[in-house]
Structure formats: structure tokens, C-alpha cells
Structure 1
Amino acid sequence: MILRHFGTIRGQILAIVAGSSVLTFLLFLLLLFIPGGPPSPPWPWQTTYRVAGVVQMLRATPVDQRARLLDSTQGLGLGIKLVPAATAVPCAGSSLNARDLQTALQAELGQGQPVSAHACGADERPAIQVLVPMGDSTLEVRTARIEHEPPRLSFPFFGALLFLCVGVTALSAWAAWRVVRPLRRLSDQAEAFGRDIVVAPIQEEGPLEIRRAAHAFNLMQERITASIEGRTRMLAAVSHDLRTPLTRMRLQLETDRKEISREKLIRDISLLQTMVSSALAYLSSSSQTEKKEWLDLGALLSTLCDDYEDAGAHIAYEGPLHLPFLCRPEAIQRVMCNLIDNALGFAAHVTVNATVEDGVITVEVADDGPGIAPERLKDVIEPFFRLDPSRSDRPGSVGLGLSIVNDIVQAHNGTLTLSNRVPHGLIARLVFC
């Protein structure tokens, strides 16, 4: 159970914080005890202040009165005397206490004052000799034999250190909870989304990285849900429309007629092929597997219009003959063919116009057909929407042409808008930024 807890993010964060707090506590105690560590109060500061005070008073006292001043400063474990500079002989020993006292005196008297401290004696606790030059004389101070005092480890000290460790651990636990809670919600939501596609978006909270992950997950849910719903509707629509030609073909084959209408079978087969091709085109319109490359859009539109005109359609192109456009060529050609086919299906004359201004390319496919009711202009772009499903002038249509166009245009950072012409007709406008 404990190992499982430490396998979580919260457990690992708490383990790191707790381990670092304990290590800091032990390291702090170690620094207080090891030799060479910082001087522990009160040593050497009390002795330092006494010696520094004597030195400062001697400097301010006339030479003939210094001996009387020294007599009044004897005691308290210090032996103080003035000796001629030539007869001042430093002790040969050295100790940690001597070095601590010399460092403290230099800090108190100033770095320009030559001060030296030496250990006198070879035993474990030698006395300390301090030599301070003062003109022709040298102030010699001898301390009693002292012992390096241990740190004063009292309850307030341990209480403060313990409070620090507990406070850091508590704040770290709260921070870990703040991080883990949105992650747990995200994982629960992902698991629920695997069982039920229709799931409400999760709340975007927590640190910036987790909010970004939650936002990306919500977008993924929306896209997957929309994709599944679209394909479900497509299968339902195609399945419904396939029944009519399949039923007719089966009736022809099951009747006792000796002669089967070959033309009717071919027409129904063509109808089935058209429906399947439309469905496959819709499924592949958002794949974006085709690489982008430069295309002469003006030449493409001019060539398409010429081909349709050669086939007997009344169509004309107006615009530049050379119009460079970075796109997916096959997808853009499919867009233009769908728009032209839709226009020619309901109109006698079609005009294709292309313009470019400030890097924005606009392509319009205008016809003189009946147009579309204003309240239905946005509906016809939706998948499987047909204004009149019962009409037979365009067999095989499942309402996917404009949906395919819209998906491809959006993949090229463009927009598709439909508007009615005056007095009649429809304009399909593509704008690529």
C-alpha cells in the first residue's frame, strides 16, 4: 500500500519534500558540531569584546597611564600586560579556538590592525595568547584554558527547526494536492470518455500546463464527438438512399421477365457509385494527407471552365490567368469542381471570378439559378442537408458536396459563404487569407 502511494505524483512530491527537509535538518545539526564550523556563541565574542575594549582604551590613554589602566582590567580569566615589542615572543602552538579568536578580533578591530592569536601548551585545552602591536610595546593577552563550547541546543531551537520542516511539508502537500486533483479529474474524464462518447467538458483549472492539457482534451472530445456523429449521420443517410436503387435492381432480377432492362440497371449502378463516391470524398476531405505546394489557381480555374465549356456548359472565367496559391492542389480542384457542378445543376449560365488584394484571394462562383431561401443559406453547408430530398433532377446526391467544400476551405484557413444574387441566382464566395 505504501509503495503504491509513492508511485503517485502526490506521493513522490511528498517523499522528495520530506527527504529534503530531513536532510536539511541533519546537515544543519552537523554544521553545528563538526570541527571547523562556525564559532558557537558565546565563544569567542565575549573574549573578543573584552580584548577589543582594552585595546581601544589603551589607544586613547597616555603612555604613562596605561599601566594603571591595565591593573584595573585584570581578572575574568584574562591576563593582560604590556611588554616591549622586542621581547614579545609568540607561542608556537595553534588551535581552533585561537583561529576563531583571531578572526573575530580582526573583524572587530579592523583588517588594518595586525592581530595574532596562538595556542600555548601541548595539552588538549591550551591557553590562548593574543598579541596586539601598540607602537613600541605589544599588548599580550592570555586567556585561561577554555574548551570549545558545544552549541546551545534548547527547546526553542529545536521547535523552530521542527516548525520549519513541518511547515514546508504541509505547504508542499497542499501544492501537490492542487496539482494532483485536476490531473485525477482529467484521467477520470478520459476513462469516462472511453465508455461514453457524449461527455461534458471538464473544468480547466490548476497550473498552466494542466489547464492547457484540459483545454486540449476538451477540444479533442469535441472533435471526436463531431467526427463520430458526422460519420454516423453519413452512414444513416447513405444506407437510406441506397435502399431505393437496390430495391429496384432486386425487383428487376426477381421478376419473371425474360428481358432485363439493361439501361435501368446501368443507371442504378451509376447512382450507387455516385453515392459511395460522395461518402468516400466526405470521409477523406479532412484527412489532410496531401502535401501543400504552389498552384497556379488562375490557370486551374481557366482550364476547368474551358473543359466544362467544351462539354456544352455555358460557363466563363473572369480573373487573372496567373494566380500563385500555396495549397493542396487535388483538394482545391475538388472544391472548384463541386461548386461548378452545383451551379450547373440548377442554372443555365455560370461565371467564375477570381481576385487578389493585399494577399487575400477571393473566388466567386455565380449562377443564374433559382437561388436559396435566405434562412436556408447556412443550412445547406451542413452535412446531409438537402433542400428537396424528393427531387430527381440530381440523382445520387446525399447532401455532402458543400460540406466537403467547407471542410477543405477551412483546412486552408479560408471561409465559404453563400449569398443570393439579384434578381436571381446564387454566389458561392471563397476567401483565402
Structure 2
Amino acid sequence: MPSSATSFSSDARVMRRFFSTTLGQILAIIVCSSSVTFALFTLLLLNPSGPPKPPWPWQPTFRIANFARVLARLPVDARAHTAAVMQTPDYVLGMTTTPARCTVNTLDNGELYHTLRDELRDIGATVSVHSCDKTDPGGTIQVLVKLPGDDAQLEVRTQHIGPEPPRLRFPFYGAILFMCVGVLGMSVWAVSLVVRPLRRLADKADAFGRDIALAPIEEEGPLEIRRAAHAFNLMQERITQSLHNRTRMLAAVSHDLRTPLTRMRLQIDTNESPSMRDKVRKDIDLMQTMVSSALSYLNTGNDNENKEWLDLSALIATVCDEYEEAGAAIRYDGPRQIRYFCRPDGMQRVMANLIDNALRFGETVVVVASVRDDTILIDVSDDGPGIPETRLRDVLEPFVRLDPSRGSQPGSVGLGLAIVRDIVRAHDGHLTLFNRRPSGLTARVQLRHAVEF
């Protein structure tokens, strides 16, 4: 039972998804309009206030039934003479007690038999209908009518009676006309539903080329149009954010480079001591660090590195060992192996930036990795001064530097945590910061634990 319910729910989701597409919506509209047209067409043909539905086939049934009714009202001895008088070139009549019976059956003869039987039931007559020529079933047919109270039978011979063509009058033409107009109107409406969002999207794209400060486009219409509008909104947001960040980066780097350049100029103009070279070299290294940090942020997410399976625990341990060999007080605690599908260089940059940030403001760093259900957690903690609670989200933005809680360090333009956040987001992860007690800060990286098949 649960499996049946699950299957039904899955089928319902597939149907809803199909009818949310452009094809599904146009198909639904055409089917609905055709159904309404068919219903109205049926009502017009079955209108009880109109003329009664004639028997089928109409003409031969009407004529032969009239012949039989007239003869049934006459005396038996007068029927043969009257039948001879009533016959026409198309209908040969006669009363006979020993008719030469025809035996060939056809579908058309069956229709005529049933309608005559129903039509003459009120006078108690019995009917038989057959074709006479085996080589030409569509030739002459024989109708025998046994009238009550008479040993003789009415024999009617006529040519083949095929299906009567439809009576193409107002109900038929009206229904066809309504169907054509209805389907045309519904189709135009359906196409307009598709074209209108596309036209709005085209107008927005054209306006975006002139002004990037635009409101997001409404995500409406069929599924494909909503996806295109959503992609356009994301593209607009990313381009706007990228241009904004680059503007801020240029302003920040320009401002920060002004100080070391001024200092270098003063040292060259006023100081000729041998130690001047070392100071100038340090200022050059400082400028190189700031420029490298800015370029690293600009390139975040733009590399073409492929994802691959690796041991994330081993990668973290290796990074921590390199810092420990350089003299940093750092410790790593985690499982022996964590299989994760990622970009290795990107994850290495994440760990390096987080550890650099922690060592810049603390003396001891602890890195802890764990796996909980389908989530990988990586905590990088330091024993520094921490960050005010109201500024925890601000420091994840580019070019944000706090002072004095975590100090403005030489060579920092406030891009380290922004780079980490963008790389983690590219891995469908999340970066959060929270203060430790009594002091310190923890940067937590949450990653989805992909399963290797």
C-alpha cells in the first residue's frame, strides 16, 4: 500500500511538472477548448426543443413504413391492388404469399432492418431485409413486411440504400464555427501568455545593457520562462555585485597603496642610510601582498578546476602540518578519512585563509573536523579577541576590516573571509562565524557530504 501511494504521488508530481511547461499549458488549453466545443456541439444536436431525431436511414424507412401503414388499414383483399398503385420507379411493391427470398446480409441492410422493426412495432408487423445479388451486395435489396391478419407479405424491392449524408445545417455549421473561433482564441491567449514574459525579459535585457541598477524581473509564466527569468535575475545580481566589488576593491587598494608609496618617497628623499633599502623592500612586499589578495578575490569562482574525490581529512592535516613546521601553534583533530567530492585547490585556499586569519589575531589555533549525518563540519578556532556580535556578518563581506577588536593588519584589505565564503558557496556549503568563551573566534564551514558510488 505505501508503495502504491508513493507511486501515485510521484506520477502526480510528474503531471504537475508537465503541465507547468509551455507545451503542457498549450496542450491543456487546446484540450479544454475542444472539450467545451464538443459539449456544446452535442447539446445543439440533442436539443429537445428542436425537431425529433429521424429514424436511420431516414428516406427508405419513412417510405416503406408509410406503405406498410397504409396497407395495414385496408381490407386484406384490397391490399394487392393498392400496393400496385402505390409503387414508384424507385420502389417496386407487391403482395405475395411465396416470395423469392434474398439471402445476402450487409451492414446497411442491418441498419434498415432495425429502424423498420422499431418503426412498425406499433402495428405488429415483422420485417426482414436482404440483398439479392451475391456478386453485388450493393445492388437491389428486398424488404419483406408481414402484416398482421394477412397470409401474404408486402414485398418491397429497391436499389441499395447506403448511409445518408449528414444534414449540414445550422447546428453543425454553428458548432464547427464556434470550435474554430474558440480554438483560435484560446491558442492566441496561450501564445500571449508565453510571448508576454519573453518580451518583458527581452526588454529587461536591453535595459540592463544601459543601466545595471534594475529591479529583478517577475518570475511568471510557464516553467521554461520562469527558469529563464530566474537565471536572468541571478546573472543581473552577480554582475551588479561583481562590478560593485571591483569598484570597492579599486577604491580600497588605491587608498591603501597611497600610504606605503608616500612613505617610500619620503624615505628616498630624506634618508640615505643603508637601512633604507630594507624598509623600502618591506613596503614593496606590503603592496605586493595587497595586490595579490585583490587579484585572488577577483579570480575566486572563475577558475576551471575540476572536482574530484579526495581525502579531506588528509588535506586539512597536511595544511596544518605546514603551518606547524613554520612555527605556528596549531593542532588538528578529526577522523582518519573524510571522502569528499570537491576542487582540491579551492579547499586548500579555504583552509589556508581561515588559518591565516586565526593566526593573525590569536596565538593558538585548533582545527576540528567531523561528519554528522550527511554534513561535514570544519571548525577553525583561535584564542584572539573575537568579534562584536553585531559585526559577525559584516566581516564576511569584501573589504570590511574591523578596528580595534581584531585590528587592521598590514597587507590586509579585508578579502580573506570573503574569498572563503565564495569558495564554500561554490561547493554548496555555508560559512558562519561565532565567538568563543571566554575569548576567541570560531569559523565553521558546513559542507554537504556527497556519497561516492
TM-score > 0.5, shorter chain as reference:
yes
Q: Which amino acid letter does the alignment assign opposite residue 415 of structure 1?
A: H
What's the TM-score, normalizing by structure 2?
Answer: 0.69
Match of 1:386 among 375, 384, 401: 401
Q: 1:317 to 1:144 in 2, by over 3 A?
A: closer
Q: 1:428 to 1:182 in 2, by over 3 A?
A: same
> Is residue 130 from structure 1 mapped to residue 145 from structure 2 by the alignment?
no
The structural deviation recorded for 1:172 is: 2.6
What is the 5 A alignment of 1:65-80? 75=86, 77=88, 78-80=91-93
**Equivalent residue, structure 2, for 1:115:** 129
Q: Retained in 1: the 8 A contact 2:60–2:161?
A: no
**Equivalent residue, structure 2, for 1:173:** 188
For residues 161 and 347 of structure 2, the distance between their equivalents in structure 1, rounded to whole angstroms, comes to 95
**Equivalent residue, structure 2, for 1:105:** 112
Q: Which amino acid letter does the alignment assign opposite residue 373 of structure 2?
A: D
Q: Retained in 2: the 8 A contact 1:90–1:131?
A: no
Q: Retained in 1: the 8 A contact 2:387–2:405?
A: no
Moved more, 167-176 or 354-363: 167-176
Residues matched between the structures, number: 377
Q: Which amino acid letter does the alignment assign opposite residue 75 of structure 1?
A: M
- Spell out, residue by residue over 1:142-169, the C-alpha distance to the aligned partner (whole angstroms, 9 max, x if none): 3599999987555665455434333332
- Secondary structure of the residue aligned to 1:351 is strand
The structural deviation recorded for 1:274 is: 0.8
Q: Which amino acid letter does the alignment assign opposite residue 102 of structure 1?
A: N
The structural deviation recorded for 1:393 is: 6.7
What is the 5 A alignment of 1:44-193? 44-51=57-64, 75=86, 77=88, 78-83=91-96, 87=100, 102=109, 104-108=111-115, 115-117=129-131, 129-132=141-144, 140-143=155-158, 154=169, 158-193=173-208
Q: Retained in 1: the 8 A contact 2:56–2:115?
A: no
Q: Retained in 2: the 8 A contact 1:352–1:365?
A: yes
- Secondary structure of the residue aligned to 1:185 is helix
> Is residue 222 from structure 1 mapped to residue 229 from structure 2 by the alignment?
no
Q: Retained in 1: the 8 A contact 2:102–2:132?
A: no
Q: Retained in 2: the 8 A contact 1:353–1:365?
A: yes
Q: Percent identity?
A: 56
Q: 1:241 to 1:409 in 2, by over 3 A?
A: same
Q: Retained in 1: the 8 A contact 2:385–2:405?
A: no
**Equivalent residue, structure 1, for 2:381:** 366
Q: Which amino acid letter does the alignment assign opposite residue 129 of structure 2?
A: V
Q: Which runs of 5+ in 2 are unaligned?
A: 1-25, 35-53, 118-126, 134-138, 449-453
- Spell out, residue by residue over 1:95-130, the C-alpha distance to the aligned partner (whole angstroms, 9 max, x if none): xxxx896363155369xx8733479xxxxxxx9643
The structural deviation recorded for 1:387 is: 0.5
- Secondary structure of the residue aligned to 2:209 is helix
What's the TM-score, normalizing by structure 1?
Answer: 0.72
Q: 1:234 to 1:161 in 2, by over 3 A?
A: same
Q: Which amino acid letter does the alignment assign opposite residue 204 of structure 2?
A: Q
- Spell out, residue by residue over 1:215-247, the C-alpha distance to the aligned partner (whole angstroms, 9 max, x if none): 222222222222222222222222222222233
Q: 1:393 to 1:152 in 2, by over 3 A?
A: closer
Q: 1:280 to 1:230 in 2, by over 3 A?
A: same
Q: Which amino acid letter does the alignment assign opposite residue 200 of structure 1?
A: A
**Equivalent residue, structure 1, for 2:39:** none
Q: Which amino acid letter does the alignment assign opposite residue 372 of structure 1?
A: I
Moved more, 325-334 or 199-208: 199-208
- Secondary structure of the residue aligned to 1:164 is helix
Q: Which amino acid letter does the alignment assign opposite residue 424 of structure 1?
A: S
For residues 322 and 359 of structure 1, the distance between their equivalents in structure 2, rounded to whole angstroms, comes to 15
- Secondary structure of the residue aligned to 2:86 is coil
For residues 200 and 72 of structure 1, the distance between their equivalents in structure 2, rounded to whole angstroms, comes to 93
Q: 1:221 to 1:53 in 2, by over 3 A?
A: farther
For residues 311 and 161 of structure 2, the distance between their equivalents in structure 1, rounded to whole angstroms, comes to 97
What is the 5 A alignment of 1:274-313? 274-287=289-302, 289-313=304-328
For residues 160 and 383 of structure 2, the distance between their equivalents in structure 1, rounded to whole angstroms, comes to 116
For residues 417 and 436 of structure 2, the distance between their equivalents in structure 1, rounded to whole angstroms, comes to 18
The structural deviation recorded for 1:343 is: 1.1
The structural deviation recorded for 1:133 is: 9.2
Q: Which runs of 5+ in 1 are unaligned?
A: 1-12, 22-40, 92-98, 120-126
Match of 1:326 among 334, 337, 341: 341
Q: Which amino acid letter does the alignment assign opposite residue 333 of structure 2?
A: E
Match of 2:443 among 425, 428, 432: 428
For residues 75 and 308 of structure 1, the distance between their equivalents in structure 2, rounded to whole angstroms, comes to 121
For residues 97 and 107 of structure 2, the distance between their equivalents in structure 1, rounded to whole angstroms, comes to 26
Q: Retained in 2: the 8 A contact 1:237–1:398?
A: yes
Q: Which amino acid letter does the alignment assign opposite residue 414 of structure 1?
A: G
> Is residue 202 from structure 1 mapped to residue 213 from structure 2 by the alignment?
no
The structural deviation recorded for 1:48 is: 2.1
Q: 1:69 to 1:216 in 2, by over 3 A?
A: farther
Q: Which amino acid letter does the alignment assign opposite residue 46 of structure 1?
A: Q
- Spell out, residue by residue over 1:154-202, the C-alpha distance to the aligned partner (whole angstroms, 9 max, x if none): 5665455434333332333333323222221111111111111111112
Match of 2:357 among 342, 345, 350: 342
- Secondary structure of the residue aligned to 1:423 is coil
Q: 1:182 to 1:324 in 2, by over 3 A?
A: closer
**Equivalent residue, structure 2, for 1:271:** 286
Cα RMSD for the two superposed structures? 4.3
Q: 1:55 to 1:278 in 2, by over 3 A?
A: farther
- Spell out, residue by residue over 1:356-408, the C-alpha distance to the aligned partner (whole angstroms, 9 max, x if none): 23242211111111111111111111110000399987311000000111111
What is the 5 A alignment of 1:248-259? 248-252=263-267, 257=272
- Secondary structure of the residue aligned to 1:342 is helix
- Secondary structure of the residue aligned to 1:115 is strand
